Structure formats: structure tokens, C-alpha cells
């Protein structure tokens, strides 16, 4: 069975050598993720060059995702020894960390306006929980509520959000320029709290044709539906970044937010990725827990375009096994009828001809017996994106002459890119040649039906204005 849900694989020390990269790509990775926090521009360029060489040799279109560095408030005592704490201990956030081992420096000017007694604070994205018991101009006193250890440079969060720390604009521009230099396909923009932040980043990379994905990980982003809606609308796609988001909204609230984000992204015709700790136990174990399999499958049934491996493939002991486990979980979920039926946009009007064609193709494909595949001749990847918003068990093949578009659709659920230069073939031969590609692959055979979308003027962006239902083996 062909897997429709895409898998994003984070590359790190456990997966960056050529042999492991080749295995991961060959066995189902659709998009590779690099984090700028762990790569110099030179190292990033070398990694991406290696990925593209391997994917080319394997005849696969693999998307390149570069994640910008996160801007978190952190403790500012990096040279302090690790401090073991137990429930009931008191630690102090202060400008001066010299008073005792329990005093940690931080940026009080930024933090103090947002802190109140009884607030819950988190260190290291939730690993250590603190309750604020005193606030004055020189320190914040907190009671530790669980056993653990504290490093001197832990990230600091507040339940409910509010501890915002903006990355300097010069740093943002520098990081975006690095992404442009390596010709990234996707940029993950962290810590998004409003649509303007997304629009600013998109403006800075608009000449490079790079998709900007907003990471939904702050409480402010989900504080109200209008803010979330605006962020999704402004972006090219969104990432449900569950570790930081759960830290700020609480684990119990996370699943509701995840489902809403996926639903809204699909309604707005944006791709959506579910990320963080999906197979966390596989960092050190060759098999996932049942809870992890259920978690992955649940995201698939909700309609996520992709699921993501983080530390599991970056630094874990079993990167290839993690990929296989995630693949199996996706396949299991996709067998369910709920993953193949859709009422998406049944009651809505369309504003573009190519969008109307995309929806018409999917309606016909899901209701006409004998259809085995959908062929979409595309310049930018927009039409297959719209098609992929409709749940279906049928494969969507994006035929394109542009490598950029081929890599872009690597993140779209149910879409597979096929290199095809429509401008090099006479119009009257295009249907036959396009269908013949699928027949040679064994995807279709004589008597099967294929639905094909294209424009009257081949090779024109946004020109899709027609669909045809073709019978394989007949005159096309």
C-alpha cells in the first residue's frame, strides 16, 4: 500500500553520514529537516548538497526544510554546575547569580512585568516546574514542585505564555539569507505569535520562492481563533510544535489545539505538519510504544499532511527503525474509511478557476468507479495542494518540469511528483504520454480510469482550466 502521509526526518549526528541518509531516503523519507541552531552555514550547505545528490541518484524529489533558531528566554548562568533539586526547594531568578547555588541569572527587565505570585513557570520546556511565591524588583522566588536538575542555561516558559522574546531583526535577516543561499524549499519560523511575523519573513524570501511554515508553539498563537486563523492564512503551512505548545497551554489542552490547527489549516488550503516526540521512546528503543503508534495514527486520521521525527532520527540509536515504525503507523491509519472520505468545501464557492477544477477532479475521483489515479499537470504545485485537501485513497501525481515544485509537493498529503516537461511534447500527445508513465510504473493498466487536469496553454502558471477522464488503453 502506498503511504499518503508524508514523513519529515530530522538530520543530525545519527543520520548525517551518506550511508544512513541514503537508507532513510530510500525507505520513505519525504522531507529532510536541518536546524540552524546545530549547523553553520557551511555545514548546512554541505549536508544539503549531499541530500540532493543522493535523492537524484535514487530518482526521488526530497524537500529541504531549514529551521530557524528559536528565540527563548533562558537562564543566564551557563557556567554554573548542574543543580539537583527536589520538590519543596526554593530557587531564585535574579540579576545576580553569585549569592548561592540556588540563584540563577535571567533578564528580569523582560520577565518581571509578566510574572505574578502563583504563576507556574517551566524550565527546559516543562521538565522542571516552578511555582512563583515572591516577586520584587530584584528577584523572583519559586518553589520547585518536582525532582530534577537545573542547568544554568535552561529555557524559561510561563503557563499561559506571555514571556515573549523577539529575535533581533538583523539575526532573522541573516538566517533567512542563509536559507536562500542553500535554496531551501521550506523555512520553519519559530515562536510565531501573530500573522505579521509570518508576512515579514515571507517578504524577505519572496524572491527565492521558499515556503514559510509557521511553528505554532506559543500560547499567544492559540489564545483566540482569530489570531490562529490569521497566522495560518498568512503562512504557506503550519507546524503543530507540541513540546513548547504543551508547556505553555498544558498537556491536557494540547490535543484539542492540535485537532483545531489541523482542521483550520486544511480548510484554508494550507499544509500542516504534526511534530515533536511522536516516537520519543525510539531514541533508545527499537520499537515504539502503543501510545506512540496511536498518537501518530490519530494525527493521520485528523488529516495532517506530515508527521515528523525529531531527536529520534537526529541523535537516536534507531533512526531507520523509527522511520519504519512511523511508516507502519501511517499505513495502518490510512486503511480506515475515515481517512478516505471528505466533505471538504462542499458548501463553499470558489474564486479561482484552477481551484474549481481541482475540487471537481477530486469529487469525480471519489465518486466514479474505476478511477485508479489522478494526474495533475502543474507549474507551481498549487493545484495538487488543493486536491490534497480532499480525503481520498487515490494517488495524486504532480507532473511538473520544475524541480522546485517537485520538492514542494513532497510535503503534501497523497501527492507524488513526477518529472514531466509538458512544453516539450505536442498538445495532442500529452495525455497519452502522461498516462503511459503510470502504465510503465505499474500504477494503472488497460481499462482503468485516470483523471487528468491541465490548462489550454501548457506551461503557464495558474492556467489549469480543464479536466479529462481517460480510459487507459483507449485513444487518449
pLDDT of residue 339: 84
What DSSP element (H or E) covers 376? strand 371-377
Q: Give the count of beta carbons closer than 10 Å to the beta carbon of residue 111.
A: 19
pLDDT at 96: 85
* Rounded Cα–Cα distance for residues 163 and 160 (Å): 9
DSSP state of 354: H
Q: What are phi and psi of 384, to 5 degrees?
A: -65, -25
Structure confidence at residue 301 (pLDDT): 96
Question: Over the stretch 370-391, which tens digit does the pLDDT of each residue have?
Answer: 999 999 999 999 999 999 999 9
pLDDT of residue 70: 87
Residue 320, C-beta contacts closer than 8 angstroms, at least 6 positions apart? 20, 23, 24, 27
Looking at residue 155, the DSSP 8-state letter turns out to be B
> Please, what sign has the CA dihedral across residues 313, 318, 323, 325?
negative
Mean pLDDT by 10 residues, the chain (476 residues): 93 95 97 92 93 96 96 85 94 91 90 93 88 94 93 90 81 94 96 96 93 96 96 98 91 94 96 96 97 97 97 97 98 91 69 89 94 96 94 95 96 97 90 95 95 82 87 82
User: Alpha carbon of 135 to those of 99, 118, 302, 354: distances in Å?
Assistant: 17, 10, 43, 58
Strands (E) across 207-356 are located at: 211-216, 237-241, 271-275, 306-309
**Span 52-91, pLDDT tens digits:** 999 999 999 999 999 999 877 888 988 888 999 999 999 9
Hey, what's the torsion of the CAs at 279, 281, 284, 286, to 10 degrees?
-60
The alpha carbons of the chain give a radius of gyration, in whole angstroms, of 24
pLDDT for 396 equals: 97
Question: What is the predicted pLDDT for the residue at 347?
Answer: 65
- How many CA atoms within 13 Å lie on the side-chain side of 392? 26
Cell numbers standing for residue 434: 502522461
Amino acid at each position: 500500500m502506498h503511504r499518503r502521509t508524508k514523513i519529515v526526518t530530522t538530520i543530525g549526528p545519527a543520520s548525517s553520514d551518506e550511508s544512513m541518509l541514503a537508507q532513510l531516503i530510500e525507505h520513505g523519507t519525504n522531507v529532510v529537516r536541518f536546524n540552524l541552531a546545530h549547523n553553520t552555514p557551511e555545514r548546512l550547505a554541505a549536508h544539503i548538497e549531499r541530500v540532493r545528490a543522493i535523492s537524484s541518484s535514487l530518482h526521488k524529489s526530497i524537500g529541504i526544510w531549514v529551521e530557524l533558531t528559536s528565540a527563548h528566554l533562558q537562564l543566564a548562568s551557563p557556567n554554573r554546575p548542574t543543580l539537583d533539586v527536589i520538590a519543596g526547594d526554593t530557587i531564585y531568578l535574579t540579576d545576580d547569580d553569585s549569592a548561592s547555588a540556588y540563584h540563577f541569572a535571567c533578564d528580569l527587565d523582560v520577565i518581571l512585568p509578566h510574572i505574578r505570585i502563583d504563576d507556574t513557570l517551566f524550565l527546559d520546556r516543562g521538565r522542571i516546574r516552578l511555582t512563583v511565591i515572591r516577586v520584587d524588583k530584584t528577584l523572583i522566588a519559586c518553589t520547585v514542585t518536582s525532582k530534577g536538575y537545573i542547568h544554568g542555561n535552561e529555557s524559561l516558559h510561563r503557563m499561559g505564555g506571555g514571556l515573549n522574546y523577539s529575535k533581533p531583526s538583523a539575526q532573522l535577516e541573516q538566517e533567512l539569507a542563509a536559507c536562500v543561499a542553500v535554496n531551501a524549499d521550506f523555512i520553519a519560523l519559530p515562536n510565531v505569535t501573530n500573522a505579521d511575523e509570518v508576512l515579514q519573513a515571507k517578504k524577505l524570501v519572496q524572491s527565492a520562492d521558499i515556503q514559510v511554515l509557521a511553528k505554532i508553539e506559543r500560547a499567544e498563537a492559540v489564545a483566540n481563533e482569530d489570531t490562529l486563523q490569521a497566522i495560518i492564512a498568512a503562512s504557506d503551512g503550519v507546524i503543530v510544535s507540541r513540546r513548547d505548545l504543551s508547556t505553555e497551554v498544558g498537556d491536557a489542552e494540547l490535543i484539542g489545539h492540535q485537532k483545531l490547527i489541523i482542521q483550520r489549516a486544511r480548510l484554508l488550503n494550507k499544509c500542516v505538519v504534526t511534530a515533536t516526540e511522536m516516537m520519543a521512546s525510539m531514541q533508545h528503543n527499537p520499537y515504539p510504544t502503543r501510545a506512540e503508534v496511536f498518537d501518530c495514527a490519530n494525527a493521520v486520521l485528523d488529516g495532517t499532511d506530515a508527521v515528523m521525527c525529531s531527536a529520534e532520527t537526529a541523535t537516536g540509536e534507531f533512526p531507520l527503525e523509527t522511520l519504519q515504525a512511523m511508516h507502519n503507523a501511517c499505513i495502518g491509519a490510512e486503511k480506515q474509511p475515515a481517512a478516505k472520505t471528505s466533505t471538504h468545501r462542499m458548501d463553499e464557492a470558489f474564486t479561482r478557476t484552477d481551484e474549481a477544477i481541482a475540487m471537481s477532479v477530486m469529487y469525480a475521483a471519489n465518486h466514479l468507479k474505476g478511477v485508479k489515479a489522478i494526474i495533475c499537470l502543474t507549474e507551481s504545485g498549487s493545484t495538487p495542494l488543493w486536491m490534497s485537501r480532499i480525503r481520498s485513497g487515490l494517488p495524486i501525481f504532480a507532473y511538473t518540469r520544475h524541480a522546485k515544485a517537485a520538492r514542494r509537493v513532497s510535503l503534501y498529503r497523497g501527492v507524488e511528483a513526477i518529472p514531466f516537461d509538458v512544453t516539450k511534447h505536442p498538445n495532442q500527445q500529452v495525455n497519452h504520454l502522461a498516462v503511459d508513465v503510470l502504465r510503465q510504473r505499474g500504477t494503472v493498466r488497460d481499462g482503468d480510469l485516470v483523471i487528468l487536469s491541465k490548462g489550454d496553454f501548457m506551461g503557464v502558471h495558474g492556467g489549469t482550466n480543464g479536466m479529462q477522464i481517460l480510459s487507459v488503453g483507449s485513444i487518449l
